[in-house]
A and B are shown apart, each in its own frame.
Chain A
Amino acid sequence: MPKRLPDLADLISRITLYDSESAYQQLFKFLFPSLYRFCYCLLRSRELAEETANDVMITLWRNRQRLMDIQNISVYAFVIARNLSLNTLNRHSRRELVSLDDIHVDIALDTLDPEQILINEELKRKLEQATATLPNRCKLVFKLIKEDGLSYRETADILNISVKTVDAHLVTAVKRLTAILKAEFKLM
Chain B
Amino acid sequence: MDSNKIIELLARKMAGEATATELEQLNELMAGYPDTVYYEEILKEIWQTSAQNNEQLPLDELYLRHQFRYYVDFAAPAERPVSKTYDPFEKLLAGAAGILVILLICFAWWYITDGDGVKTRIVAGKGIRKKLMLPDGTLVWLNAGSQLSYSSDLNKKKIRRVYLTGEAFFDVSHRSNRPFIVRTDKISVKVLGTAFNIQAYPREHTAEATLLRGSIELSVNDRSGQKVILSPSEKFAFTTGRHSRSGKKDYVRNPRDIRMMIDHVVPVKIGQKEYIEETSWKDDRLVFKNESLEELKPRLERWFNVQIHLESDLPSKYRFTGVFTKESITEALTAMQLIKPFTFKLKAHDVIIY
Residues of A at the B interface (CB closer than 8 Å) are: 1-2, 14, 17-22, 25, 28-29, 32-34, 36, 50, 54, 57-58, 61-62, 108-113, 116, 118-119, 127, 145-147, 149, 151-152, 167, 170-171, 173-175, 177-178, 181, 185, 187-188
B28-58 CB mask vs A (1 if < 8 Å, else 0) is 0000010110110111011111111111010
Distance (whole angstroms) from the CB of A112 to the closest CB of chain B: 5
Residues of B at the A interface (CB closer than 8 Å) are: 3-4, 7-8, 10-12, 14-17, 33, 35-36, 38-39, 41-43, 45-55, 57, 59, 62-63, 65-66, 69-70, 73-74, 77-78, 80, 326, 328, 330-331, 334-335
Closest residue of A by beta carbon distance from B62: A32
Contact of A174 with B11 in the complex, beta carbons under 8 Å: yes
Contact of A33 with B50 in the complex, beta carbons under 8 Å: no
Distance (whole angstroms) from the CB of A186 to the closest CB of chain B: 9
Q: When chains A and B are docked, how far (Å) is the Cα of A112 from the Cα of B78?
A: 47
Q: When chains A and B are docked, how far (Å) is the Cα of A62 from the Cα of B77?
A: 11
Distance (whole angstroms) from the CB of B247 to the closest CB of chain A: 32
Contact of B328 with A20 in the complex, beta carbons under 8 Å: yes
Q: Could you list some 29 contacts between A and B, CB below 8 A?
A: A2-B54, A17-B334, A18-B330, A19-B78, A20-B328, A21-B330, A29-B59, A32-B57, A33-B59, A57-B66, A61-B70, A108-B50, A109-B49, A111-B50, A118-B42, A145-B15, A149-B16, A152-B17, A170-B15, A171-B8, A174-B7, A174-B8, A174-B10, A174-B11, A177-B42, A181-B39, A185-B38, A187-B35, A188-B35
Contact of B66 with A1 in the complex, beta carbons under 8 Å: no
Contact of B57 with A36 in the complex, beta carbons under 8 Å: yes
Contacts of B334 in A (CB 8 A): 17-19
Closest residue of A by beta carbon distance from B52: A111
Q: When chains A and B are docked, how far (Å) is the Cα of A174 from the Cα of B44?
A: 11
A171 is contacted by which of B7, B49, B65 (Cβ under 8 Å)? B7
Contact of B42 with A181 in the complex, beta carbons under 8 Å: yes
Closest residue of A by beta carbon distance from B10: A174
Q: When chains A and B are docked, how far (Å) is the Cα of A31 from the Cα of B50?
A: 16
